[in-house]
Amino acid sequence: MISLDSVRELAPYQDQPAQLPAGANGKVGVLRLGFARRGDRTILADLYRQSPLLVQRALYWDEEMPDLPCVMVLTTSGGVLQGDRLRMDVDVGPGARAHVVTQSATKIQEMDANYGTQIQSFTLADDAYVEFLPEPVIPFRRSRFVSHTRVRLPRSATMLYAEVLQPGRKYYGDGEIFAYDLFSSELRAERPDGRGLFVEKFVVTPGRFPVARLGVMERFHVFGNVVLLTDPERAARVHERTAADPVWDEETPLATAVSRLPNDAGLIFKVLGRETEPVRAAVRAFCVVAREEATGCTFPPAFSWR
Amino acid sequence: MPTMDEALRLLQFGDSVFPVGAFSFSNGLEMAVQHGSVHDRATLQEYVRTVTRLAATGDGVALLAGHRAAAAGDLDRVRRADEAVHLRKINEEMRTMSVRMGRKLAEAATRIVGESLLRKRVGDTGAGVPVTYPVALGVLFAELGVGEEQAFAAHQYGAASMVLGAAIRLMRVDHLDAQSILFAVNEHVADDYQDARTATLDDMQGFAPHLDVLAGAHQHAHVRMFMS
C-alpha cells in the first residue's frame, strides 16, 4: 500500500503515540467501493471495508435521481486519531452514477504524537458521474493531517467534489481557530492515460506562516472548495450560470468566485465565510447548477437535520 | 559574491522593467484595493509578503528545478518543471500571467542571448506544455552563469516589485513607501530559499483562498487597469 509517511511536511512528527502504534491493527481504515450500471440504475457492486472506516449499504434516497446509489461513509472511532492511516478507493463503471457523503463532520482529533493520513482514489469510466460531498472537516488543536486524492477520469465522465474546511472547534472553550499544527491536502486529476489535468496542493501550518492574514484567509474562518471535473461543453454551461457574479458580501460576510481549471479540466469554485452555514449554502448552490448541467436533474431539498 | 558579469546579468534580466509585461499584472492587488482589504502601507506590506511566500513555496521551487535542469542540459526536466507549474495554476488570470511572461522572457532572451536551452524549449511547445515564467527565468539564469540562489532572489524580488508597481498606480502610497516595503519583504528571501531549496516539484504548494477569490472575481470586473 502506498503510504504518505515520507511526505516532507510530516518530517517533524515521526514520533509514536503512547497508545496503539501508528498504522497498527484497528488504525488502518480501508474502504473499496465499486459502482456499476445495472439496467436503469446503478448498484454498489463491490464493497470492502475495514474499521475504522465503515459503509453499510447503498440507499436510494434521492427523489430527483431515483437511480442514484447514495453511500454514507462512517467512522467507528469518532474522527481521525493520531496514527490513523485511511484509504478509500472508489471505482465508477461505464455509465454508472454515485453519490458519496460522510455521516458527520470529519473531526481530526487533538494530537500529541504522530499524525493521521488519508489516501483517496476515484476512478471513473466513460460517462460515469460521481458526487463526493463530505461534511466539513474540523482540524482540532495540534492536529496533523495529510490527505492525497487522485481522480482519474475520461473526458465524458463527471466528478463533483466539494470540501468545507473549518478553522477548528470555533465555539469550543475559548474558541479554537487555526490552532492545528498541519493540514495538508493535495488533489490531482488526470486522464486514464496518466496525462495530468491539474493539481491543487496546500500545506497549511498556521504556526509557521499565519493563516489569518491578507491573501490567505483574510478575515474569514471557513473555506469551501468545489471542483467540477467535466467536459468543456458542460463546464461552459455551468460557468455561464455561476461565474459572472462573484460575491463580495461585507455583511454576512461571504466571498465567492469561479475559475476555469487548466487543460479544460473543468471549474473550481472557492468560498470564504466566517460561519459554516453561509459557506455550505454557497457550495450547495453551485452543486445544484453543476448537477443540473451534468445530468439534467436537480438536487432535492436538503434534509432539514443535515 | 557574484562576479561583475553575473551581477550585471542579474540586474538586467531580474529588473522589474525588463520587457516581459510585468507592469500589466497586479497579482490580485487591484481587486484587493477595490474591496478595501488593502488600503494603507501596513496592509499593503502584509499582502506583498503573502505573495512572496506563495512565490517561494510554489513557483520558486519550479525556478530552482528549471535552473538545475538547465545546468544539467536536460530539456526533459525543464519541460516537466513547466508542466508542474502549469498544472498548479488553477486561476485563469495567474495562468495567463505565467504563460505570457514565460513566452515573452523566452522570446526576449532568444533575441538578446541567442542560441540556448530556452530557445529549444520554445521550439518544443508542440508537446502541449507551455513555457512558464518561473522555469524560463531559472533556465535563463543558469545559462547565463548566474547561481541558483541569485536566481531565486531575483524571482522573489520580481514577485514583490510587480505588486508594488501596481500599488503605486492603484492606491495612496508613494515610491518611497513602496521601496521601504520592498526592503522589508526582501529580508525573508534567504529563509524562504532554505525552504524551497530542498523541495521537489511534488512539494510545490500554496494556500491562498483569499487571493484565489480575488483572482476569480477580477476577471469579471467591469473596470480594470490590470490583467490580474
Question: Average pLDDT, whole number, for chain B?
Answer: 94
pLDDT (average), residues B56-69 = 98
Q: What's the pLDDT at A176? A: 96
Give me the count of residues in chain A.
Answer: 306
Provide the grid cell at A155.
473526458
Q: A2 CB near a chain B CB, below 8 Å? A: no
pLDDT (average), residues A148-176 = 97
Residues of B in contact with A145 (CB under 8 A): none
**Interface subset of A 272-291, CB within 8 angstroms of B:** 272
Looking at A121-130, A245-254, B77-86, B150-159, which range is the least confident one?
A245-254
Is pLDDT at A131 greater than 70 in this prediction? yes
Question: Average pLDDT, whole number, for chain A?
Answer: 96
Is pLDDT at B9 greater than 80 in this prediction? yes
Nearest Cα of chain A lies from the Cα of B112 at a distance, in angstroms, of 31
pLDDT (average), residues B215-228 = 83
Choose the mutation target among B54, B191, B210, B224 for the interface with A, i.e. most A CBs under 10 Å. Answer: B210
Is pLDDT at B220 greater than 90 in this prediction? no
Q: What pLDDT digit, counting tens, does each position of A72-109 carry?
A: 999 999 899 999 999 999 999 999 999 999 999 999 99
pLDDT (average), residues B154-180 = 96
Nearest Cα of chain A lies from the Cα of B87 at a distance, in angstroms, of 4
Q: Considering chain B, what percentage of its residues have pLDDT values greater than 70?
A: 98
* Spatial CB neighbours of A206, under 8 Å, sequence gap ≥ 6: A178, A179, A180
Is pLDDT at A1 greater than 60 in this prediction? no
Q: What's the pLDDT at A246? A: 87
Per DSSP, the residues of chain A read ----TT-GGGGGG-PPPSSSPTT-TTSEEEEEEEEEEETTEEEEEEEEEETTEE----B---SS-TT--EEEEEETTSSB-TT-EEEEEEEE-TT-EEEEEESS-EEE---SSS-EEEEEEEEE-TT-EEEE-PPPEEE-TT-EEEEEEEEE--TT-EEEEEEEE--S-TTSTT--SS--SEEEEEEEEE-TT--EEEEEEEEE-TTTS-SSSTTTTTT--EEEEEEEE--HHHHHHHHHHHSS--EEETTTTEEEEEEEPGGG-EEEEEEEESSHHHHHHHHHHHHHHHHHHHHS--PPPPPTT-
Cell numbers 491573501 correspond to A215
Domains of chain B, each with CATH number or no CATH: 38-214 (1.10.4190.10)
Is pLDDT at B164 greater than 80 in this prediction? yes
**Confidence category of residue B222, pLDDT binned at 50, 70, 90:** confident
**Confidence category of residue B182, pLDDT binned at 50, 70, 90:** very high
Looking at A163-167, B172-176, B221-225, which range is the least confident one?
B221-225
Q: What's the pLDDT at B126? A: 60
User: What is the spatial distance between Cα B164 and Cα B26, in angstroms, rounded to a whole number?
Assistant: 8
Is pLDDT at B125 greater than 70 in this prediction? no
Contact A246 B220 (CB under 8 A): yes
**Confidence category of residue B223, pLDDT binned at 50, 70, 90:** confident
Provide the grid cell at B152.
531565486
Q: What's the pLDDT at B115? A: 85
Q: What's the pLDDT at B2? A: 77
ipTM score of the complex?
0.94
Is pLDDT at A220 greater than 90 in this prediction? yes
Q: A256 CB near a chain B CB, below 8 Å? A: yes
pLDDT (average), residues B47-53 = 98
Nearest to B220 among A218, A243, A262 (CB): A243
Nearest Cα of chain B lies from the Cα of A8 at a distance, in angstroms, of 7
Is pLDDT at B141 greater than 70 in this prediction? yes
pLDDT (average), residues A108-132 = 98
DSSP lists the bridge partners of residue A131 as A99, A160
Is pLDDT at A226 greater than 70 in this prediction? yes
Nearest Cα of chain A lies from the Cα of B133 at a distance, in angstroms, of 16
